[in-house]
Amino acid sequence: MNKVLLTRDVVCILGLPFDAVNLTDSLVLIEQAIDQNTRCFISTPNLNFAIAAQSDTAFFNSVVDSDLSVADGMPLVWVAKLLGVPITERVAGSTLFDELSRRPRKKKIRVYFFGGQQGIAERAHKQLNESSVGMHSCGFHDPGFVSIEQMSDGAILDEINAAKPDFIVVALGAKKGQAWIQKNREYLNAPVISHLGAVINFVAGGIQRAPERWQRFGMEWLWRIKQEPSLWKRYSYDGLMFVKMLLIYIFPLAVYDRLLKRSACYTQACTISLSRKADGVVLLKGSFKVSTLESVKHVFSSILSEEKGQVTMDCFQLSYIDAAFIATLLLFRARLVKQGRKLILTNVPKRIKALFKLNNVWHRFNIEH
């Protein structure tokens, strides 16, 4: 698991880590996980995800803990472009599913539908088996409007495992779905699991996806409101919050980051090392960006392999950090937490503090002044 964590190319957008992958890359990773029977929890954050994660720690952790996190929303791609972050295209969960369904395979991907409104999972199950050349639905379960505890009953999980799915598609509402996956994914045997709420409706034929042109210009939300008028409140709130984030975080970050890239701090050579004088102290010096992350991942990996003691990161001589370093640090911290360990940042310069705050991750770390 350490190897997977530290070899991912991730970047931070709106406080969340995203894998710097396109649609083709994502499809390859999913098929590899299925063929090699390796665990892959996929999160597909869109603007609603990103906004909800600002105030919901458990929701945020579900994205950080995932094995693949893709940008499912054109606003995220636009923000990435503005910030010079290498997320070049939207990777929608529904598009991933569609592509896998359309690709002929010798051994079809076994899909299990979990959730959805009453009767929808069964309709998706039947429709997929009638139309897909790359997938076969091996089962479905509609838990109804019950608690996460109730839908995590051992008998239900055993039923899912008995169907031997390759891919579990969850549709419970984003927060509830991510929480259910977090609670049960270690018990479930399927290699791939993801909350893809709208996919069940699309497969069942209850609603239609927006035309490709609408998707490309970021207007899919308007198409969704046309088909599901009740969504207008959610999209209105998300739109207002997005404007707020543009003004408070994104535009200031774009300006400040460009200024730093023109200064001497950006070109300073970087070094990272474990202090010989104190166990668990990481010394950072210079400018850390995507092109210099290999040494960072190597040191982080060695720390994780020890599985003991808290880690203190001395940032006194740190001159610059980019979105790739911040996202890698978020994943490193999450892995430490799973080991029952702490990451503490100390001697953080004002410039670095500003970058953490504008990337909306300052509050995710333990800081010593």
What tokens were used for 106? 């010798």
- What is the average per-residue pLDDT within 39-64? 93
With a cut of 80, say whether residue 149 has pLDDT above it: yes
pLDDT above 90 (res 276): no
Domains of the chain and CATH, by start? 2-236 (no CATH), 264-368 (3.30.750.24)
What distance in Å separates the CA atoms of residue 169 and residue 160, rounded to the nearest whole number?
Answer: 11
Give residue-wise pLDDT tens across range 302-346: 888 887 888 999 999 999 999 999 999 999 999 999 999 999 999
The pLDDT assigned to 222 comes to 66
Judge whether residue 214 has pLDDT over 70. Answer: no
The per-residue pLDDT for range 152-162, each reduced to its tens digit, is 999 999 999 99
Burial class (CB in 10 A: 0-12, 13-18, 19+), 259: exposed
Cα 122 from Cα 264, distance rounded (Å)? 61
Q: What is the pLDDT of residue 2?
A: 36
